[in-house]
Amino acid sequence: MIHDLIVLNIMSLIQVKNRLKEQLKKHPLIFLVIVGLAGMFYYGYMRLSDVLTEFIFQQDVFGVILITKLVQIMLIISIGIVTMSALTTAIANFYMSQDLEFQFCLPVNFDSWILHRYGQVYLQSCWMVLAFGSPFIWDFMRLSEVPLGASLLAILSFAVVCSAPVFASTVLCMFLVRLFPARRIHQVLLVFTLVLMSGLVFLFRYMEPEQFIGPGGIDRFRGYVDLVSPGRNSWNPAIWAADFITALSQKEWRQSLPNAYRLIGMTVAIHGILIMVARRFYKPSWDRALQALSGEVHGKTTIHNESWISRRLASRRWHQVGRELLLLVRDPSQWSQIFVLLSLLALYLFSITKLPLAPFGGTRYQLALGNTAFVGFVAMSIASRFVFTSFSVEGPAIWLMKTAPENWTSWIWAKVIVFGMPTIAFSLALSVGSGYLLELPPQELWWLAQASLWDACVIVALALAFGLVFMNPYIENPLKLMVSPGGFLLMATGLFILALHVMLRLTHESELLNFLMSRIGWPDVQGIKAYYWGASLILIECLATAWMLRTGLAQQRRGEIL
Amino acid sequence: MIKARNLAKKFQTFRAVDGVDFDVPEGVVYAFLGPNGAGKTTTIRMLTGILEPDQGELEIGGYTYKKNRNDILNMIGYIPDRPFLYGKMTAIELLRFLGSLRRLDANYVKTRSYDLLEKFRLTDFANEIVERYSHGMRQKLVMASALLHKPKLLIVDEPMVGLDPRAALQIKQLITDFAEAGHSVFMSTHTLEVAAQLCHRVGIIHKGKLVADETLNSLTERMKTDDGDLEAVFMALTVDGHEPEAIPI
């Protein structure tokens, strides 16, 4: 059993190693830059956690109490987040993975296989929570001046707590797949998870975290923590871990033992029960899932009524748009993320009304112009998720397009209409909406709309061009494409251009800024000159986008993609 | 129907197809054979316009891709070896969309679609999303989509993979009828019996080069094998001078 578990894990590690090696070989510079940036970001996060933990820890009387309560809250929130993430990950790993049939043909011990898969679900759903939660516990232990071993044990207890929701989600999935089709459960859970995530974002925003900054902030924070502190349920593993960590931080080794035993007992029980449940329930539910995967047509997916979109497929002019819409509407992994976008829109508009003008010192119009940078960043993220990936999500079925007597421009226009236009509209809504909330007069709103339209159009054009050039029809998850070298380059280029746009507007609007910027070589853009510079920028952007689209289309023709 | 001269395609330093010449006259079924990785699929992808040749000339029905891409594609029906389709569309929606791509009349597409689905025994599943289809059903749907616009040239990559015996027989009949109607078929296959049974002419590609291009009879005569023993010819031309080694059991 142990041997099989080691072999299966080595197999997974080799795949990860090969994937990294391939990336390093294909785009060494971009790969190293991405790794470097990720490292810098994580270092920055650790420093921030360090400073905040130290600040709270040093508060007289209640500092340590506050931190122990925060540890409890963090552990409970982690359980919630991991549960949501593990539900979809467990279904994907246990029932929808491409290599399942191959692995079942191997003479591998069933229990080892289940534990190996469970390990994969654990890693995929917990790594982010562990990466961002551990620095806080580490800092707490460091400030408590405990030995290194105690710090490591504290982090280990955090990792152990996270295994409980992964176990619960995995078992729940095994039961659910016995009752419902795996693919349908995956889609429903995906939508459910995104709705919950949107809710969490809302909850965080309406907590108004800005109230904790400034004089008296720490008192308000303490009151808030008291309010949301969980009850002391003796069956909650998060409480066991929190008490274990607290005892370690106070160097009360004996007192930490009961909770350590509880955590160890829970880990052993989880693995034992998982194996028993899997032996009883996994195989029958897998048989069901396999039937569905290998094409069991049973009438449940029959589409009897022709929808408006479906009828567009027969239209000479709108057939490509119809196809894009149909594929988007029927794929919850695509449209469900719109929930998150809408909640972001609401939060953004809510936040803009809370912005203090005093520290900024400029006019409301200048603030609105500066705000276009944030709007542009949001539009960039949306374009990178939907417009940039729109070519790749065609998948290997792209051969249908390549062997059809169709003009490629209609294909690209369909992407512009279905993915590009909503991005532009979203961007305009954000920008004009925030301008309206800042009580700008109509003329300034009109200029703001034009500025935002320019940004959004350039962003969409860039995302289209990069999407075509870096098209990868074999990618399983569009989100992976966003963090690929192509996605990274798009983000970097887009943000650079956006920065140019915003600086051009602000230096045109503010004489002081124009003067300051001119000292570092920025051209004078006061008066009419701004329009010349703007026109030149637009010309360069148009030429660059056209060149990239041509390159992408030439790649398509030469067949470098498929 | 097809005239290829000095056709070549290179992927970085690897020459997948290296100066291939062949002709496929009208009414002829042409078998394109070769071991794995010999360049069959690359050649087919150049014929179907998916790949652009690095060098050489390609004429289909008197047209070239550079000047008359759409005319050629309207003439071709392509059946790839792996039936990748839009999983979220139903069969009828897919055929409707492909009809629009080819600028066919909507009423014609409707009638023809149901007719083809009936012939391939897919009528009961016409409104099911393709994601739920088995491999064989998808393959049949690809065939239906290839025949939707009544092509004059059928380009087929491994036609029998994943088909049940009844459907395989149906495809053999389709290929024979297609050629008898004066159209042409360019078929790549590993099933040598199918090639020997259906094809008028055989081309064998090995390491990117065409090592044979003649009728089956002249080929077996030239290679001094028994009449119709395509397997012996294939082995002689593609094993690099030595017999395939026995696999240890």
pLDDT digits (tens, 9 = 90+) for A1-23: 788 888 888 888 898 888 888 87
* pLDDT recorded at residue B183: 92
Q: How confident is the model at residue B207 (pLDDT cuts 50, 70, 90)?
A: confident
Residue B66 contacts A where some CB pair is shorter than 8 Å: no
In this predicted model, what pLDDT tens digit does every residue of B31-45 receive, in sequence order?
998 888 888 989 999
Print the SS3 string covering A499-511: HHHHHHHHHHHCH
Nearest CA of chain B to the CA of A418: how many Å? 17
Q: Are B61 and B1 in contact (CB under 8 A)?
A: yes
Q: Are residues B73 and A403, on separate chains, in Cβ contact within 8 Å?
A: yes
Residue among B125, B127, B134 whose CB faces A304 most closely? B127
Residue A546 contacts B where some CB pair is shorter than 8 Å: no
* pLDDT recorded at residue A230: 62
Token digits for A109? 């011990």
Rounded distance between C-alpha atoms, residue A264 and residue A262, angstroms? 6
* pLDDT recorded at residue B142: 92
Q: Are residues B82 and A313, on separate chains, in Cβ contact within 8 Å?
A: no
Q: Are residues B96 and A292, on separate chains, in Cβ contact within 8 Å?
A: no
* pLDDT recorded at residue A292: 58
| Three-state SS at B18 | strand
Q: Are B239 and B211 in contact (CB under 8 A)?
A: no
Beta bridge partners of B60: B2, B63
| Three-state SS at B203 | strand
Residue A558 contacts B where some CB pair is shorter than 8 Å: yes
* pLDDT recorded at residue A521: 79
Q: Where are the alpha helices (DSSP H) in B106-214?
A: 106-119, 135-147, 165-180, 192-198
Low-confidence ranges of chain A (pLDDT < 50): none
Average pLDDT over residues B159-180: 85
pTM of the model: 0.75
Number of CB pairs < 8 Å for A and B?
A: 107
Q: Are residues B78 and A292, on separate chains, in Cβ contact within 8 Å?
A: no
**Helical (H) or strand (E) element with A455:** helix A442-469
Nearest CA of chain B to the CA of A333: how many Å? 12
Residue among A303, A314, A400 whose CB faces B90 most closely? A303
Rounded distance between C-alpha atoms, residue A105 and residue A51, angstroms? 53
Burial of A102 (0-12, 13-18, 19+ CB in 10 A): exposed
Whether residue B220 is predicted with pLDDT greater than 80 in this model: the reply is no
Picking from A166, A103, A170, the residue whose alpha carbon sits closest to that of residue A130 is A166
Sketch the domain layout of chain A as residue ranges.
1-37, 60-293, 308-558
What angle, rounded to 10 degrees, do the helices at B91-101 and B106-119 form?
Answer: 130
Whether residue B86 is predicted with pLDDT greater than 80 in this model: the reply is yes
Token digits for A47? 């420093």
Q: Are residues B84 and A316, on separate chains, in Cβ contact within 8 Å?
A: no
Q: Are residues A558 and B51, on separate chains, in Cβ contact within 8 Å?
A: yes
Rounded distance between C-alpha atoms, residue A1 and residue A112, angstroms? 6
Q: Are residues A297 and B73, on separate chains, in Cβ contact within 8 Å?
A: no
Q: Are residues B50 and A322, on separate chains, in Cβ contact within 8 Å?
A: no
Picking from A404, A454, A463, A461, the residue whose alpha carbon sits closest to that of residue A428 is A454
Q: Are residues B52 and A310, on separate chains, in Cβ contact within 8 Å?
A: no
Asked whether the ipTM of the predicted complex exceeds the cut of 0.95, the reply is no
Average pLDDT of chain B is 86
User: In the β-sheet with B209-215, what is the strand arrangement from edge to edge?
Assistant: B76-79, B153-157, B184-188, B29-33, B201-206, B209-215
- HSE, side-chain direction, 13 A CA sphere, residue B81: 11
Picking from B47, B70, B50, the residue whose alpha carbon sits closest to that of residue B60 is B47
Q: Are A111 and A275 in contact (CB under 8 A)?
A: yes
The residue among A186, A323, A408 with the most chain B CBs within 10 A of its CB, best to mutate, is: A323
* pLDDT recorded at residue B240: 65
Q: Are A259 and A246 in contact (CB under 8 A)?
A: no
All domains of chain B, ordered by start, with CATH?
Answer: 1-25+51-60 (no CATH), 73-190 (3.40.50.300)
Nearest CA of chain B to the CA of A299: how many Å? 7
User: CA A507, A510, A513 angle in degrees (round to 5)?
Assistant: 60
Phi, psi of A524 (to 5 degrees): -75, 120
